[in-house]
């Protein structure tokens, strides 16, 4: 084989290098890797003399040369990566070369992937038909146009590039403030579809089988059963409160159906003292922390024992004792607040994190952007936990964003990021546990995007059949449900069976109904509570307004249902 | 001291007094565009006096979070004209935090400072006086000082107050107003107007820069019209001191309010309406 006949083309992807490598494992598929310390002359010589490569007795067609980083001593390292199979996991490089073996008419390229993967995305069979070169895809193609543009380039251009490349190895590097990249001489936009989506980390299959036992957090029977009971009790409470709204017993409700795994998996991985800022669909987190059914019911009923003194709609829970900041209706406002609270934690050196939940819809708000940027630049130990459940009321993700979900934004802010299967309670647990370690040990934020599905309507004011099909919902309910998955896991361990399920479902239903009944018997708070807590003390003007209201109601007491309220 | 120096002095005292206090905002680290934070980062460290990214809603939200976690945030909005991206955080979050949680949580330690008002060359977007927007929000305190001595005392009161406070600093006074200001820690009461000149014919009420305008009016009215004016600096816009003004108007029988903000829906309207009611109902005398 005439090595000189090798045509080189090159791939220049001017991507920002994302500092965080979610994965440090090196794939088994790497055959070997040579690292050379090199001057620019050596690199040039190396590139010009690829005949060296067969000395390690591998086919040239599978050789990649990639430019790597400059180390602390200002020595430039060049990685030569020889790939037999199709994946390499490891260092991320700025500029990468691409080799074309004309004799075998095959060509391989690869692209950068956000989380540290280098993956071959294209393998092409090339044939000559007349004067035209035909391309046949053998392996998955991320962006054929980009690849074709490579192949059309000739050795002449490679040579030009090598000259430029070797000169760029010299003294000139971009000196712009905040820049950490290299110069490129290639005018090429970074296209969003140039790399694959960020993968979804999971531990269990949809049938509850743990794929790699090393990933099983191996929580004991009691802990696992508590998690399962929390998930199912939440589900039962949702059904009863949803129905009670339909019967006019409470004014409003929001169910958590389908997202139980994200709630309980994340809550279990936190320290109970970690401060939680929620959005509104995280009742399971509170439940796991020990919020009682009576407390849930009192809030939803807005009775005299509601901690919020009946000032907010149902599901706006909060507990200072359980370190769960009271929910507010405005969307995404809690996200920058979580960053600020985390900053206070960092200064207090209390080894705690702040956990912040929000949906993929809320992530479109300006507050979310500010929060990510503040947390990253001010080094705040906060976990941003996005519940991507597919819908923001009726708005599907396709109307919400055009990029690779919420996780893809993390590296742009300089935030370590992980996408996780939200219906896999162990994957969520592992993800949050690792995020917590990272946030505390490095004093920096983490972003977790938990992929899940909102099986219920947005709220009792919504009918989701107007914008999605019953079949779609049915799929998630029957094929990919976090509760069922954990149940299968437990059944495999003989920790749960039909009988325990039946007993638990009966007793939990009874507990919820009893709590609801107790809460319904209580009166509403005194109307005087309208004027307290506006300020730490009631100021004179509010005292005056209160007296006016009191006088008015005294004069027109028959017009008001005063028997339902505590006295003034 | 001039006014920006008295602000620096108040911040210095707060940082000394309270180790959880943090001062931050856009360009705060190097001393601020109005020099209100000069020397504080060197003195207290970059973890307590620091720059934030350019996002007013981020600054407000971040500050609320600090307060909820028990720290004392003193946030700066670079201009009152640019506070509006933070409106939601201030009005829907800070103001309602205690109320909506039934007093389980609050952000009362929050203070937001912002330079306000006209200087002359600031034109449309560096001159506004947005106090009335915030005065319509129960749960907030809104304060505007007229000079260096009041600025330090009232800012200290805001920082120590258990409610979220917005402190507007008339930026024309940063350098023009010079007064004797104690170097040590002191505070002045919030929600108390101050009678600056006693008179019998008419009550003049203003705050911030307008107090200085009204001082000239007092002189002019005396000289040219032989009218004896009583001058009151409102100082705190919310909750405002209705009693002091009502008592004064009960005496003089006339009231004139001057503010820099737009007339329609301005805070002057609130004062005028309330004082008429209080005089009719004889609420204070």
Q: Write out the DSSP string of chain B.
A: -BHHHHHHHHHHHHHHH-TTEEEEETTTTTT-TTSTTTTHHHHH-TTTEEE--S-HHHHHHHHHHHHHTT-EEEEE-S-GGG-GGGHHIIIIIITTHHHHTTTSS--TT-EEEEEES--SS-TTTS----HHHHHTSTT-EEE--SSHHHHHHHHHHHHHSSS-EEEEEETTHHHH-B----SS-----TT--EEEE--SSEEEEE-THHHHHHHHHHHHIIIII---EEEEE--EEET--HHHHHHHHHHHS-EEE--SS-STT-HHHHHHHHHHHHHHHT---
pLDDT exceeding 90 applies to what percent of chain A?
65
In the predicted model, what is the mean pLDDT of residues A8-17?
24
Model pLDDT for residues A226-235, shown as the tens digit of each residue: 999 999 999 9
Cα A417–A422–A423 angle (5° rounding)?
155
- Amino acid A302: pLDDT: 97
Considering only CA atoms, give the Rg of chain B: 19
Q: What is the CA A308 to chain-centroid distance, rounded?
A: 31
CA torsion through residues A297, A299, A301, A304, sign: positive
Beta bridge partners of A100: A7, A107
Catalytic residue flag (residue A474): no
In chain B, which residues have their Cβ closer than 8 Å to the Cβ of A335?
Answer: 61
Q: Tell whether A314 lies on the interface with B, counting CB pairs under 8 A.
A: no
- Amino acid B284: pLDDT: 78
CB A501 within 8 A of CB A510: no
Nearest to A279 by CA among A242, A318, A329: A329
Query: Which residues 334-363 on chain A approach chain B with CB closer than 8 angstroms?
Result: 335-345, 347-348, 354
Q: Where are the domains of chain A?
A: 60-165, 204-525, 537-567
* Partner-chain contact B62 A343, CB within 8 Å: yes
Query: Which residues 31-50 on chain B approach chain A with CB closer than 8 angstroms?
Result: 47-48, 50
End-to-end Cα spacing for chain A? 97
Q: Tell whether B243 lies on the interface with A, counting CB pairs under 8 A.
A: yes
Q: In angstroms, what CA-CA distances link A234 with A253, A281, B248?
A: 13, 11, 61
Nearest to B61 among A308, A345, A367 (CB): A367
Cα A322–A328–A330 angle (5° rounding)?
150
Strand intervals (E) in A3-149: 7-12, 30-38, 63-70, 76-83, 87-89, 95-101, 106-112, 117-129, 132-137
CB B152 within 8 A of CB B7: yes
| Residue A397 pLDDT class (50, 70, 90 cuts) | very high
* Partner-chain contact A337 B65, CB within 8 Å: yes
Instruction: For the domain covering A204-525, report its CATH number.
Output: 3.40.50.970
Does the pLDDT value for residue A457 go beyond 80?
yes
In the predicted model, what is the mean pLDDT of residues B225-230?
98
Which chain A residue's Cα is nearest to B108?
A: A536
CB B143 within 8 A of CB B96: no
- Amino acid A85: pLDDT: 31
DSSP structural state of residue B2 = B
* Partner-chain contact B100 A326, CB within 8 Å: yes
Model pLDDT for residues A490-520, shown as the tens digit of each residue: 999 999 999 999 999 999 999 999 999 999 9
Q: In angstroms, what CA-CA distances link A191 with A13, A14, A393?
A: 10, 10, 30
* Partner-chain contact B242 A341, CB within 8 Å: no
Q: Tell whether B164 lies on the interface with A, counting CB pairs under 8 A.
A: no
- Amino acid A184: pLDDT: 78
HSE toward the beta carbon, residue A372, CA cutoff 13 A:
28
In chain B, which residues have their Cβ closer than 8 Å to the Cβ of A328?
Answer: 92-93, 96, 100
* Partner-chain contact B239 A367, CB within 8 Å: no
| Residue B28 pLDDT class (50, 70, 90 cuts) | very high
- Amino acid A185: pLDDT: 73
pLDDT exceeding 70 applies to what percent of chain B?
100
Instruction: Report the gap between the CA of A250 and the closest CA in chain B (Å).
Output: 19
Which residue out of A243, A479, A514, A547 is catalytically annotated? A243
* Partner-chain contact B89 A336, CB within 8 Å: yes
Nearest to B109 by CA among B76, B75, B79: B75
Q: In angstroms, what CA-CA distances link B253 with B201, B206, B230, B244, B278?
A: 7, 17, 11, 14, 13
Q: Tell whether A100 lies on the interface with B, counting CB pairs under 8 A.
A: no
In chain B, which residues have their Cβ closer than 8 Å to the Cβ of A275?
Answer: 69
Question: Mean pLDDT in chain A?
Answer: 77
Least confident span in A16-20, B14-18, B155-159, B210-214: A16-20
Instruction: Report the gap between the CA of B73 and the closest CA in chain A (Å).
Output: 9
Nearest to A318 among B47, B64, B104 (CB): B104
DSSP structural state of residue A210 = B
Of the residues A345, A370, A378, A380, the best mutation for testing chain B's interface (the one with the most B CB atoms within 10 Å of its CB) is A370
In chain B, which residues have their Cβ closer than 8 Å to the Cβ of A337?
Answer: 61-62, 64-65, 68, 93
Tell me how many residue pairs between chain A and chain B have CB atoms under 8 A apart: 161
- Amino acid A49: pLDDT: 42
- Amino acid A386: pLDDT: 98
HSE toward the beta carbon, residue A142, CA cutoff 13 A:
20
Return all residues near B35 (Cβ < 8 A) that are at least 6 apart. B4, B8, B174
Which chain A residue's Cα is nearest to B24?
A: A378
- Amino acid A75: pLDDT: 44
Among all chains, which residue has been given the structure tokens 């000259």?
A: A163
Does the pLDDT value for residue A42 go beyond 60?
no
Does the pLDDT value for residue B259 go beyond 50?
yes
Length of chain B: 285
In the predicted model, what is the mean pLDDT of residues B104-130?
96
In chain A, which residues have their Cβ closer than 8 Å to the Cβ of B20?
Answer: 344, 347-348
| Residue A35 pLDDT class (50, 70, 90 cuts) | very low
Residues A220 and B17: their CA atoms lie apart, in Å, by: 49
- Amino acid A73: pLDDT: 53
DSSP structural state of residue A227 = H
Model pLDDT for residues A402-426, shown as the tens digit of each residue: 999 999 999 999 999 999 999 999 9
Q: Residue A236 corresponds to which tokens in the numbers above?
A: 């039962």
Does the pLDDT value for residue A101 go beyond 80?
no
Model pLDDT for residues A272-285, shown as the tens digit of each residue: 999 999 999 999 99
Query: Which residues 538-557 on chain A approach chain B with CB closer than 8 angstroms?
Result: 539-542, 544
Q: Tell whether B62 lies on the interface with A, counting CB pairs under 8 A.
A: yes
Does the pLDDT value for residue B69 go beyond 80?
yes
Does the pLDDT value for residue A51 go beyond 80?
no
User: With b meaning 16 or more CB within 10 Å and e meaning fewer, what string describes B228-245?
Assistant: ebbbbbbbbbbbbbbbbb
In the predicted model, what is the mean pLDDT of residues B13-29?
98
Instruction: For the domain covering B194-284, report its CATH number.
Output: 3.40.50.920
* Partner-chain contact B139 A534, CB within 8 Å: yes
- Amino acid A156: pLDDT: 38
Instruction: Report the gap between the CA of B2 and the closest CA in chain A (Å).
Output: 32
In chain A, which residues have their Cβ closer than 8 Å to the Cβ of B62?
Answer: 336-337, 339-340, 343, 370-371, 374, 378
CB B258 within 8 A of CB B210: yes
Q: Tell whether B71 lies on the interface with A, counting CB pairs under 8 A.
A: yes
In chain A, which residues have their Cβ closer than 8 Å to the Cβ of B106?
Answer: 536
DSSP string of A477-509?
HHHS-HHHHHHHHHHHTTS--HHHHHHHHHHHH
CB B81 within 8 A of CB B127: yes
Q: Residue A216 corresponds to which tokens in the numbers above?
A: 């099983």
Which chain A residue's Cα is nearest to B58?
A: A370
Phi/psi at A103 (5° precision)? -65, -40
| Residue A220 pLDDT class (50, 70, 90 cuts) | very high
CB B101 within 8 A of CB A277: no
Q: Residue A408 corresponds to which tokens in the numbers above?
A: 């893809």
CB A370 within 8 A of CB A413: no
Query: Which residues 434-473 on chain A approach chain B with CB closer than 8 angstroms?
Result: none
In chain B, which residues have their Cβ closer than 8 Å to the Cβ of A373?
Answer: 53, 55, 58
Say whether B263 sits in a helix, a strand or coil. coil
Query: Within a 10 A sphere around the Cβ of A223, how many other Cβ atoms?
Result: 12
Q: Tell whether A178 lies on the interface with B, counting CB pairs under 8 A.
A: no
Nearest to B206 by CA among B257, B266, B144: B257
Residue A380, sorted as left (phi over 0), alpha (psi -120 to 50) or beta, turns out to be beta
Q: What is the CA B76 to chain-centroid distance, rounded?
A: 13
Model pLDDT for residues A377-394, shown as the tens digit of each residue: 999 999 999 999 999 999
Phi/psi at A22 (5° precision)? -70, -25
Which superfamily does CATH assign the domain made up of B3-176 to? Thiamin diphosphate (ThDP)-binding fold, Pyr/PP domains (3.40.50.970)
CA torsion through residues A145, A146, A150, A151, sign: negative
Nearest to B239 among A275, A336, A539 (CB): A539
In the predicted model, what is the mean pLDDT of residues A170-177?
74
Question: A107, exposed or middle or buried, with CB in 10 Å at 0-12, 13-18, 19+?
Answer: buried
Nearest to A325 among B68, B243, B283 (CB): B68
CB B201 within 8 A of CB B227: yes
- Amino acid A59: pLDDT: 31
Residues B235 and B231: their CA atoms lie apart, in Å, by: 12
Residues A62 and A52: their CA atoms lie apart, in Å, by: 14
Residues B156 and A121: their CA atoms lie apart, in Å, by: 62
* Partner-chain contact A533 B163, CB within 8 Å: no
Q: Tell whether A370 lies on the interface with B, counting CB pairs under 8 A.
A: yes
pLDDT exceeding 90 applies to what percent of chain B?
97
Catalytic residue flag (residue B56): yes
CB A183 within 8 A of CB A174: yes
- Amino acid A196: pLDDT: 83
Nearest to A250 by CA among A419, A459, A551: A459
In chain B, which residues have their Cβ closer than 8 Å to the Cβ of A547?
Answer: none
Does the pLDDT value for residue B239 go beyond 90?
yes
Instruction: Report the gap between the CA of A497 and the closest CA in chain B (Å).
Output: 41
Nearest to A90 by CA among A56, A58, A59, A66: A66
In the predicted model, what is the mean pLDDT of residues A448-469?
94
Question: Beta strand B49-51 with A275-277: parallel, antiparallel or unpaired?
Answer: unpaired
Model pLDDT for residues B173-183, shown as the tens digit of each residue: 999 889 999 99
Does the pLDDT value for residue A522 go beyond 60?
yes
Residues A96 and A525: their CA atoms lie apart, in Å, by: 68
- Amino acid A546: pLDDT: 95
| Residue A171 pLDDT class (50, 70, 90 cuts) | low
ipTM of the prediction: 0.96
Nearest to A91 by CA among A27, A140, A174, A164: A27
In the predicted model, what is the mean pLDDT of residues A136-158?
36
Q: Tell whether A326 lies on the interface with B, counting CB pairs under 8 A.
A: yes
Least confident span in A42-46, A50-54, B110-114, B261-265: A50-54
Does the pLDDT value for residue B163 go beyond 90?
yes
Return all residues near A102 (Cβ < 8 A) that are at least 6 apart. A5, A6, A7
Q: Give CATH 3.40.50.920 domain extents, chain B.
A: 194-284
CB A422 within 8 A of CB A206: no
In the predicted model, what is the mean pLDDT of residues A244-269?
96
Q: Tell whether B163 lies on the interface with A, counting CB pairs under 8 A.
A: yes
């Amino acid at each position: 084989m005439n090595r000189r006949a090798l045509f080189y083309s090159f791939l220049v992807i001017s991507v920002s290098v994302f500092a965080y490598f979610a994965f440090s494992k090196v794939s088994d598929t790497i055959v070997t890797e040579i690292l050379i310390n090199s001057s620019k002359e050596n690199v040039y010589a190396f590139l010009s003399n690829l005949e060296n490569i067969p000395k390690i007795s591998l086919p040239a067609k599978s050789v990649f040369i990639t430019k790597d980083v400059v180390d602390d001593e200002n020595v430039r390292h060049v990685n030569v990566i020889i790939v037999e199979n199709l994946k390499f996991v490891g260092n991320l490089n700025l500029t990468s070369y691409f080799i074309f073996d004309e004799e075998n008419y095959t060509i391989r390229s690869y692209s950068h992937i956000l989380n540290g993967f280098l993956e071959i995305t294209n393998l092409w069979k090339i044939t000559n038909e007349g004067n035209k070169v035909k391309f046949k895809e053998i392996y998955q193609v991320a962006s054929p146009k980009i690849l074709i543009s490579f192949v059309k380039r000739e050795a002449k251009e490679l040579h030009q590039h090598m000259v430029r490349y070797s000169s760029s190895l010299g003294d000139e590097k971009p000196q712009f403030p905040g820049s950490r990249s290299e110069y490129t001489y290639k005018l090429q936009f970074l296209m969003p579809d140039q790399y694959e989506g960020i993968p979804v980390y999971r531990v269990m299959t949809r049938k509850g089988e743990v794929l790699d036992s090393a990933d099983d957090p191996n929580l004991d029977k009691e802990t696992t059963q508590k998690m399962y009971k929390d998930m199912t009790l939440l589900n039962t409470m949702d059904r009863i409160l949803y129905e009670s709204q339909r019967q006019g017993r409470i004014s409003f409700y929001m169910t958590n159906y389908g997202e139980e795994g994200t709630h309980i998996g994340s809550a279990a991985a936190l320290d109970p003292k970690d401060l939680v800022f929620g959005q509104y669909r995280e009742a399971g987190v509170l439940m796991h922390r020990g919020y009682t059914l009576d407390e849930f019911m009192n809030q939803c009923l807005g009775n005299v024992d509601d901690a919020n003194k009946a000032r907010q709609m149902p599901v706006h829970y909060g507990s200072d004792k359980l370190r769960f900041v009271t929910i507010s209706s405005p969307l995404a406002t809690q996200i920058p607040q979580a960053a600020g609270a985390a900053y206070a934690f960092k200064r207090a050196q209390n080894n705690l994190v702040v956990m912040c939940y929000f949906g993929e819809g809320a992530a479109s708000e300006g507050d979310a952007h500010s929060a990510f940027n503040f947390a990253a630049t001010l080094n705040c130990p906060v976990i941003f936990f996005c519940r991507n459940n597919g819908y923001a009321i009726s708005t599907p993700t396709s109307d919400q964003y055009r990029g690779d979900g919420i996780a893809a934004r993390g590296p742009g802010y300089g935030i370590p990021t992980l996408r996780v299967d939200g219906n896999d309670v162990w994957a969520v647990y592992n993800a949050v546990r690792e995020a917590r370690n990272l946030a505390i040990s490095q004093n920096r934020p983490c972003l977790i995007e938990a992929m899940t599905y909102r099986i219920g309507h947005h709220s009792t004011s919504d009918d989701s059949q107007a914008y999605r099909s019953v079949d779609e919902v049915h799929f998630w309910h029957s094929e990919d449900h976090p509760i069922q998955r954990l149940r299968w896991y437990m059944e495999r361990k003989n920790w749960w069976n039909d009988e325990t399920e039946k007993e638990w479902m009966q007793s939990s239903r009874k507990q919820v109904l009893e709590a609801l009944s107790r809460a319904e018997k209580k009166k509403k708070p005194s109307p005087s509570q309208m004027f307290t807590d506006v300020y730490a003390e009631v100021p004179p003007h509010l005292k005056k307004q209160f007296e006016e209201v009191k006088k008015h109601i005294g004069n027109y007491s028959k017009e008001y249902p005063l028997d339902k309220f505590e006295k003034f | 001291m001039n006014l920006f120096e008295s602000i620096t002095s108040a911040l210095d005292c707060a940082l000394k007094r309270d180790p959880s206090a943090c001062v931050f905002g856009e360009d705060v680290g190097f001393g601020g565009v109005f020099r209100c934070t000069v020397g504080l980062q060197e003195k207290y460290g970059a973890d307590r006096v620091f720059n934030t990214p350019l996002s007013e809603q981020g600054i407000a939200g971040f500050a609320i979070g600090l307060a909820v976690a028990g720290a004392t945030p003193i946030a700066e909005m670079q201009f009152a004209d640019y506070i509006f991206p933070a409106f939601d955080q201030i009005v829907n979050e800070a103001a309602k935090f205690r109320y909506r949680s039934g007093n389980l949580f609050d952000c009362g330690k929050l203070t937001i400072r912002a330079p306000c008002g006209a200087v002359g060359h600031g034109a449309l977007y560096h001159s506004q006086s947005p106090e009335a927007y915030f005065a319509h929000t129960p749960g907030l305190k809104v304060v505007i000082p007229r000079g260096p001595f009041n600025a330090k005392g009232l800012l200290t009161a805001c920082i120590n107050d258990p409610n979220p406070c917005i402190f507007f600093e008339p930026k024309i006074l940063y350098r023009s107003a010079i007064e004797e200001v104690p170097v040590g820690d002191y505070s002045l009461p919030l929600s108390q107007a101050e009678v600056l000149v006693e008179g019998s014919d008419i009550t003049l009420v203003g705050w911030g820069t307008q107090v200085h305008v009204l001082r000239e009016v007092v002189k002019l009215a005396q000289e040219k019209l032989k009218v004896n004016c009583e001058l009151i600096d409102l100082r705190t816009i919310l909750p405002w001191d209705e009693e002091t003004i009502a008592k004064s108007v009960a005496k003089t029988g006339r009231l004139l309010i001057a503010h820099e903000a737009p007339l329609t829906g301005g805070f002057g309207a609130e004062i005028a309406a309330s004082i008429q009611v209080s005089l009719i109902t004889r609420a204070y005398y």
